[in-house]
A and B are shown apart, each in its own frame.
Chain A
Amino acid sequence: MLTTSIRPAADVFRIPPSLWPPNPTLEPYYTVIKERPIGTYTLNTLIVAIATVCLSAPIGALGAYGFSRFRFKGSRMLLGFILATQMFPYIVIVLPYFKMLVALKLMDTYLGLIIAYTSFSLPFTTWMLKGFFDAIPGELDEAAMIDGCSRIQAFIRVILPISLPGLAATIVFAFLVAWNHYEFALILTQSPGKMLLSVGIPSLMGQFSFKWNQLMAAGFMAILPPILMYSVLGKYLVKGLTSGAVKE
Chain B
Amino acid sequence: MLSRERHLGYFFAGPVLIILTFVMVFPLAYGFVMSLFENQITVEEFAGFSNYSEVLRNPGVWRSLLITFIFAAGSGGLKLILGMALALLLDRSSVFHSVARVLVLIPWMIAESVVGVIWRWILDPSFGVLNYSLLRTGLISESIAWFGDPRFALLSTIIVKTWVGLPFMGLMILAGLQAVPVSQHEAAIVDGANSWQVFRFVTLPNLRHVIATAVTLDFIWTMRSMATVYVLTRGGPVDATKIIPIRIYEEGFEFMRFGTATAMSVVLFCVLLAFIAGIIRSRVSEQAY
**Residues of A bordering B, CB below 8 Å:** 1, 4, 12-13, 15-17, 59-60, 62-63, 65-67, 69-72, 75-76, 78-85, 87-93, 95-100, 115-116, 118-119, 122-123, 126, 134, 142, 151, 155, 173, 176-177, 179-183, 187, 197-199, 201-202, 205, 212, 215-216, 219, 222-223, 226-227, 230, 234, 238
Contact = CB atoms under 8 A, between A and B. Distances in A.
Given A83-B279, A89-B268, 12 more contacts: A59-B16, A60-B16, A62-B13, A70-B2, A79-B284, A88-B272, A90-B224, A91-B249, A92-B248, A99-B258, A198-B227, A219-B118
B145 to A, nearest CB: 14
Interface stretch (B21-29, B77-85, B149-157, B198-206): B21-29
Interface string B1-21: 110011111111111110110
13 contacts: A17-B129, A66-B16, A67-B9, A70-B2, A70-B9, A82-B20, A93-B31, A96-B30, A173-B108, A182-B111, A201-B117, A202-B116, A216-B121
Contact of A66 (B11, B111, B118, B132): B11
B15 A93 contact: no
Given A95-B261, A198-B113, A63 B12 contact: yes
B258 A95 contact: yes
B274 to A, nearest CB: 12
Contacts of B112: 180, 182, 198
A171 B233 CA distance: 33
B287 to A, nearest CB: 7
Contacts of A95: 31, 34, 248, 252, 258, 261-262, 265
Nearest to A131: B287
Interface string B165-193: 00000000000000000000000000000
B233 to A, nearest CB: 12
Which of A79, A84, A118, A223 has the most chain B CB atoms closer than 10 A to its own CB?
A: A84
A122 B224 contact: no
Interface of B: 1-2, 5-17, 19-20, 23-24, 27-28, 30-31, 34, 101, 105, 108-114, 116-118, 120-121, 124, 126-127, 129, 132, 136, 220-221, 223-227, 230-231, 245, 248-249, 252-253, 258, 261-262, 265-266, 268-269, 272, 276-277, 279-281, 283-284, 287-289
A203 to B, nearest CB: 10
Contact of A92 (B23, B28, B280): B28
Contacts of B6: 70-72
Contacts of A176: 108-109
B9 A89 contact: no
Contact of B287 (A4, A122, A134, A222): A134
Contact of A89 (B27, B223, B262, B284): B223
Contacts of B16: 59-60, 62-63, 66, 82, 122, 126
A96 B27 contact: yes
Contacts, number: 231
Nearest to B12: A66
Contact of B23 (A69, A71, A119): A119
B245 A118 contact: no
B17 A91 contact: no
B225 A183 contact: yes
Contacts of A199: 113
A150 to B, nearest CB: 10
Contacts of A197: 111
A222 B145 CA distance: 27
B256 to A, nearest CB: 11
Q: Which of B112, B221, B287 has the most CB of A within 10 A?
A: B287
B3 to A, nearest CB: 9
Contact of B253 (A82, A173, A187): A187
A98 B261 CA distance: 12
A178 to B, nearest CB: 11
B118 A1 contact: yes
Closest 3 CB pairs of A and B: A66-B12, A70-B9, A63-B16
Contacts of A227: 105, 109
Contacts of A82: 16, 20
With a 10 A CB-CB cut-off, give which of B114, B126, B252, B258 has the most chain A CB atoms: B114
Contacts of B19: 59, 118, 122
